[in-house]
Structure 1
Amino acid sequence: MSTTQELHQVFATAFEIPVESITPDLEYQGIVEWDSMSHLLLVEELERFYNVSISMEDILEMGNIDKIKAILKKNGVEIQ
């Protein structure tokens, strides 16, 4: 099981921003740092950190933190 704080740290690492900038309502293109290129960096960081492989279909659905949590859960990673 993983924590929301760890997930936020993954986002901060991928986007190279302070972890305090990550909010529960963060959405794709909701901040300048989350663009199409950094979205791929986020996927890479999620796959590395959680040791999962995310399908292209799921990558396209990753529009906000809640959807990412659901996709991780589908891959066996429960975020608390």
Structure 2
Amino acid sequence: MENNLQNYIDVFCECFDVNKEEAKNLKYQDIDSWDSVGHMGLVAALEDMFHIEFEADDIIDLSSFAKGIEILEKYNIKMS
């Protein structure tokens, strides 16, 4: 079984060119690459990784690494 949490971390690392520890503490606009364009890239990468389509409210609410975990769990993506 694939590790969803590791996949989630990997998406953040790839999208924003950060390491694992940096990814876990990220919040929207903490770094230059997480701007509106970077945000949509992250959303697209997460949708591809987990085979889901976010609702508009969830795209807006995705404001941090931690919040993203909450949102994914809403879509029955277990983060363990």
Bucket of the pairwise TM-score, normalised by the shorter protein:
0.7 to 0.9
Q: Is it true that 1:24 corresponds to 2:48 in the alignment?
A: no
Flag structure 2 segments of 5+ consecutive residues without an equivalent.
none
Are the aligned partners of 1:11 and 1:22 in contact in 2 as well (CA < 8 Å)?
no
Other-structure match for 2:10? 9
SS at match of 2:23: coil
TM-score, normalization: structure 1?
Answer: 0.85
1:6 partner letter: N
Cα distance in 2, alignment partners of residues 24 and 18 from structure 1? 10
Identical aligned residues as a percent: 28
Alignment deviations for residues 13-64 of structure 1 (CA, whole Å, 9 cap, x no partner) = 222x143463322100011111110100000000000101101110000000
Q: Which amino acid aligns with 1:44?
A: A
Task: State how many pairs are aligned.
Answer: 79
Give me the TM-score of the superposition, normalised by structure 2: 0.85
